[in-house]
Amino acid sequence: MSALVENMDERYSVSVIVPAYRAESTLIAALESVRAQSMKPDEVHIVDDQSPTNDSLLAMKYIRDNDLKDWYVHVLPKNMGAGGARDFAIKACKTSYIAFLDADDIWYSTHLEQSFNAIRQFDLSLFGAGLCRRRSRKASETVKEDVAIRFIRLNSLLMKCYFLTSTVVLSRASYINAGGFLAGARLSEDFSLWLRVAANERNRCAVSNQVHAIYSDENIGSTQRLSGNHWAHEVAEIYNFKYLRETGVIGYFQMNIAIVFSVVKYIRRLLIAN
């Protein structure tokens, strides 16, 4: 078990953002994994996205019962989707970095510590790691393989989304410069943001080969990670590439190559599913 790591450098202060929708059965486990971090976050923001379940009440009770300081609960006036919920919370943050956690995922206890080891060492604006979907994997398990960091540039990211949201730690300055999550986007809104961050050559982006989080597949609806309508998700991804072209970030050739790769991956997923 790792010793508690105090974050004394404001350049690496971090807020955790947890959007919640129909997360009644998974939210507490997610919050427990935040509280168990070996490196404590400076702020935690839980956002109830007009959930019909008792997400905000559960979060407030958890904060009160555990006497947690700098943990906040926000209740949105209307349902805004995960991207809109994250944007809302980030506006309330005072830290230099943002760490994302979906309410149906849990972190390994060393997630923040390991993330900031890499961020400090390589001066990263965007960091991501692995996400395990196996129910058998426990958050207390030790990952044995050696740590390897891979730098990701825009051209690589156009071919594959390497950044899994519940493992992402992002500098707030890069988030602001990229324009945040696209207003109204409900699918692939996170991928759109990573693309726009990576498009800025001043931002260093990298992923670790380590698994930092666990996805609970017992309740896939709590943050609506992937719609049952896979074509709608594919359309949203293609829109991301067209948006980059329309805003002058990439050219027609890059856009078309990215779309072709995306459609091929979509067809492959359908074939495997069937």
Q: Which residues of the chain have pLDDT under 70?
A: 1-8, 134-145, 217-228, 274
Quick one: pLDDT at residue 134?
56
Rounded CA separation 98/169 (Å): 6
Quick one: pLDDT at residue 133?
76
Helices first, then strands: H and E counts in the chain: 9, 9
Query: Which residues contact residue 175 at a Cβ distance below 8 angstroms, ignoring those fewer than 6 apart?
Result: 90, 98, 193, 197
Closest CA to 25 of 1, 58, 74: 58
Task: Please classify residue 252 by burial: count the beta carbons closer than 10 Å to its beta carbon, then call 0-12 exposed, 13-18 middle and 19+ buried.
Answer: exposed
Measured torsion, CA atoms of residues 22, 111, 233, 173, in degrees rounded to the nearest 10: 100
> H-helix or E-strand containing 61?
helix 55-65
CB–CB of 251/154 below 8 Å?
A: no
Quick one: pLDDT at residue 56?
95
Quick one: pLDDT at residue 219?
45
Residue 227: helix, strand or coil by DSSP? coil
Question: pLDDT by residue (tens digit) across 98-145?
Answer: 999 999 999 999 999 999 999 999 999 999 999 997 554 555 454 556
Burial 179-199 (b: 16+ CB within 10 A, else e): ebbbeebbbbbbbbbbbbbbb
